[in-house]
Structures are given as C-alpha cells and as structure tokens.
Amino acid sequence: MELIKRDINIDFIGKRNIAFIISGLLIIISILTIIVRGGLNYGIDFAGGTLIQLKFNSHVEIGKIKTGLSAVNLSNASVQLFGEKEENEFLVRTNTPVTTNKEFSQSLEEALKTATGNSAEIRRVEMVGPQVGKDLQEKALFAIFYSLLFIAIYISGRFEFKWMLGGITAAALMGSVYLLSLFKINMVILTAAALLVTFAIFWLLNLKYAMAAIVALAHDVMITVGMFSIFDKEFSLSIVAAILTIIGYSLNDTIIIFDRIRENLKKHTKSPLTVVVNRSVNETLSRTILTSGTTLLVVTALFILGGGIIHDFAFALLVGITVGTYSTVYVASPILIAWQGKTKKKK
C-alpha cells in the first residue's frame, strides 16, 4: 500500500540546515531545563523512598490527607491527585523508606479515616531504599549507553562491513566506562563524556553510517528526556524501558532509509549525494508515514485512555516516535552528506 507515489520529490535535504537549528535549539532547551530544575523528577525507582496509592469513597481535601499521614510519621510526604478528579485517587510520595507490613497499613487506614472522615483503600505500596535507587540510576544509564554501542556494531557491520573494527571500538569504550565507574565518577558526566568520545572515534575511523545512526538516536533520547524535564513528569524505570523502545523503533526507520541510500548509490553513480539521499527519503516516505502513523494512533490511544499508571510511558513513546521519525529524515540522512564534505576537504 502506498499513500504517496514513489516519484514524489520533496526537498527534505534542502531544509537540513533549518532542521539542524531546530534540533540544536530543542537539545539546548532540554539541557538547560534539566540544569535549572536541578535534575530530573526521579520516581522512587531512582530517588528511593515510598510510594502509596490511595482511593477514597468520596471527595477529600489534600490537606486532610496530609494530616492523616502526619499521624503515622509521614509529615514530609507529597500528595497529588492521580487519574481523573472524580475517581478520588491520590499518590503519596515520601523520601523515607517505610516498613510496609500489615500493621502499617491498618494504622494508615485508621489515621486517614480519622483525618478525612472517609474510608481509604490502600491500592499499592512501593518502597525502594536510597542505595538501591542510586544503583538503578547507574544501571539505567549503562543500559542506554551500551544499547547505543551494540547498535553501532550492527550498523558498521551491516553497511560498511567493519564488524571487527566496530566490535573492538565498542568493547574498548564499554570497558573504559565500566572501569571509570568503579572510581565513583558521576555517571551522568561519565556517560555524556563517553558518548562524545564515541562520536569522535567513529568520525576518525570513518564509520559514517554508524556515526549518523548514533547521533540520530542520541538526539531522540536527549529530546525525549528533555520533554520530561520541561513538563516536570516523573522519570522512572518504565520510562527507561520506553526510551529503549524508542531507540529500537528509530533505528528500524533509519536502517530502511540507509538501505535505500546504499541501493541508489549503486544505481545513480553520477548523481550528487544530496540528490541520492533526497531521492531515497522520498522513495521510502510512504512506508515511513504508514508505519509512524499507525504506531502513533495506538500510542495516542494509550496516552488518552490508558489511565494514570501508563500515562507517562505513553507520553515518552509519543514524543520519542515523533522525534525519531523526524531525526531519521532530518538528522541521520543529512549527516552522510556532511561526511562527504569532510572527505572533500581532506582531498
């Protein structure tokens, strides 16, 4: 099925400089927002503490809930509405790990009933220690960074037949990051520095397809994470799972276009690279719109109808798939053209 004819010729590549400016601004805004806010709004998975979900039979005021929580030594807890207002559900967060046994649940229910005049149902209680939360932060960063490196091995082997070179480079980078992490270096700084070193090495080793793919994927991750900071949404383990899903989805789209570029380079040997890349993007446009469009329909349904628990996960996918589709056309493909400019300067 083709929504768009293969002979269409939209000048995507001609607008690449505008796209680079837009991407640069989005990344800068994302980084600045994270710095101004003092970091991401980590969930208890990463920050440690206790999360309690409550449901009341009728409307209650948050101030009265806090009064009831103070009676069980949870005076520093934050309370926010969860889901629709008429559902009368609330999320309670505290930095203090609580021993969540049957006695605690009973005393909490009694304290809340006394303070609010309504019976409270404790729907879930989750507790994570601060050290466990810190370990999960490090493992999440490792997971994202290592996934990008494994993708680099695949791309360098698939398109440039440099399996060994890509593998050795990735192994050296992974080993270096792991050894440096043993010296208790801040993982965010370490991962960011390692990513910049990765870009530099791929540039020097002439791994142009791998470089283009990794830059586009890093672009998607940074903007998605930035959106969570801009909208002050909670960043948890489920969001890391969403980011890894986004990486896989964006990579699949990128590979389709790279395959077409490689085929067209063989067919149109005398055409300029900009023409070949633009032709390839146009030829795969129908497939890109169909795949992204149908996926976004499902994710939008999850975002609107999925409920509070899955809302942030769906938001991450919604942003990531949109940005991933954009980056395949306006980031990954134009980098190949920038690479040609580098080669010409060397000559």
Alpha-carbon torsion 241, 322, 39, 85, what sign? negative
Contacts of 324 (CB under 8 A, 6+ apart): 216, 220, 246, 249, 250, 253
Give the integer Cα–Cα distance in Å for 152 and 194: 14
- 262 vs 132, residue with greater confidence: 262
In the chain the domains, ranked by start, together with CATH numbers, are: 13-38+132-346 (1.20.1640.10), 49-128 (3.30.70.100)
Judged against a pLDDT cut of 70, whether residue 99 lies above it is answered with no
* Structural tokens at position 244: 């890894």
* Bridge partners, 90 (sequence order): 54, 81
- Residue corresponding to tokens 């980590």: 42
For residue 160, the number of C-alpha atoms closer than 13 Å in the C-beta half-sphere is 22
> Which pLDDT belongs to residue 21?
93
User: In this predicted model, what pLDDT tens digit does every residue of 219-235 receive, in sequence order?
Assistant: 999 999 999 999 988 88
SS3 108: helix
CA distances from 280 to 42, 118, 270, 286 (A): 41, 63, 15, 11
> Which pLDDT belongs to residue 211?
86
Strands 234-235 and 41-42: parallel
Strand order in the sheet with 49-56: 78-81, 89-94, 49-56, 120-128
Give the integer Cα–Cα distance in Å for 68 and 90: 13
